[in-house]
């Protein structure tokens, strides 16, 4: 596994990362890591690699776009001094274009999205031991659907940033597409965005595969 023992892993994003995590920092007992993939990642790391003592921190915030991440980057990333950082952002950047089409001031266009994400990555990567970028996703099989097609474009932007800066890329859309080949999206998310526990476990597995997790542990 690529994450070294005693590393601090900070995971930042929107509601898909948040999932009722503790404030101001999602870390500790009693559900502090939230009810989603971050908690599953922590549980799987701690149970399979107990000697590694990897510290997982959740700083996802519901409703966030990449603009919001930039505004809180100092306090929620840099000040926490992570060894490893995981970023998954973009769903709201796309969604607001479709559920709030007239509120153009809150829309984050593709160019701004990629430029801001790259700015954050470039400023932070030199201080990290590892960086994971996860693509946004839309749980929809029809790739011609307008929101799915737009989400794929934003996912491609994440891929471009990851390639440029040597980050680990986790294609979360591809992970969902694999499962969607065997069932309807309603079984994974009522709104095709906020996943069930199955979707969150899928995400945890995709993340762990990306960092070279050995499922048999140590």
Catalytic amino acids? 15, 191, 194
C-alpha dihedral, 191 to 71 to 174 to 129, nearest 10°: -140
Q: Please report, for residues 41, 77, 84, 157, 196, the alpha-carbon distance to residue 7 in angstroms, rounded to integers and kept in the order given.
A: 14, 15, 7, 28, 29
Separation between Cα atoms, residue 49 and residue 114, nearest integer Å: 35
Place of tokens 């476990």: 201
Handedness of CA 142, 146, 150, 156 (dihedral sign): positive
Classify 10 as helix, strand or coil.
Answer: strand
Q: Please state at what angle helix 146-165 crosses helix 91-99, rounded to 10 degrees.
A: 160
CB 212 within 8 A of CB 206: no
- Cβ-based neighbours of 59, under 8 Å, separated by 6 or more: 10, 11, 12, 17, 21, 25, 26, 76, 77, 80
CB 190 within 8 A of CB 152: no
Structure tokens at 99: 């559920």
């Amino acid at each position: 596994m690529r994450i070294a023992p005693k590393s601090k892993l900070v995971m930042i994003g929107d509601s898909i990362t948040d999932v009722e995590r503790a404030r101001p920092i999602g870390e500790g007992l009693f559900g502090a890591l939230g009810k989603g993939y971050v908690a599953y990642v922590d549980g799987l790391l701690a149970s399979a690699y107990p000697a590694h003592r990897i510290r997982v921190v959740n700083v996802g915030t519901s409703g966030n776009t990449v603009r919001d991440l930039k505004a809180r980057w100092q306090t929620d990333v840099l000040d926490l001094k992570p060894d490893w950082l995981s970023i998954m952002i973009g769903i709201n950047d796309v969604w607001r274009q479709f559920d709030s089409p007239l509120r153009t001031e809150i829309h984050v266009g593709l160019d701004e999205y990629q430029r801001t994400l790259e700015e954050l990555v470039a400023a932070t990567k030199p201080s990290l031991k590892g960086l994971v970028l996860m693509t946004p996703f839309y749980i929809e099989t029809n790739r011609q659907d307008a929101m799915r097609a737009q989400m794929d474009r934003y996912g491609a932007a994440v891929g471009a940033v990851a390639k440029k800066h040597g980050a680990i890329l986790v294609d979360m859309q591809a992970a969902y597409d694999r499962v969607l080949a065997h069932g309807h999206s309603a079984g994974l998310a009522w709104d095709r965005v906020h996943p069930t526990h199955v979707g969150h476990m899928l995400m945890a597995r995709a993340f762990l595969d990306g960092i070279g997790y050995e499922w048999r542990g140590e």
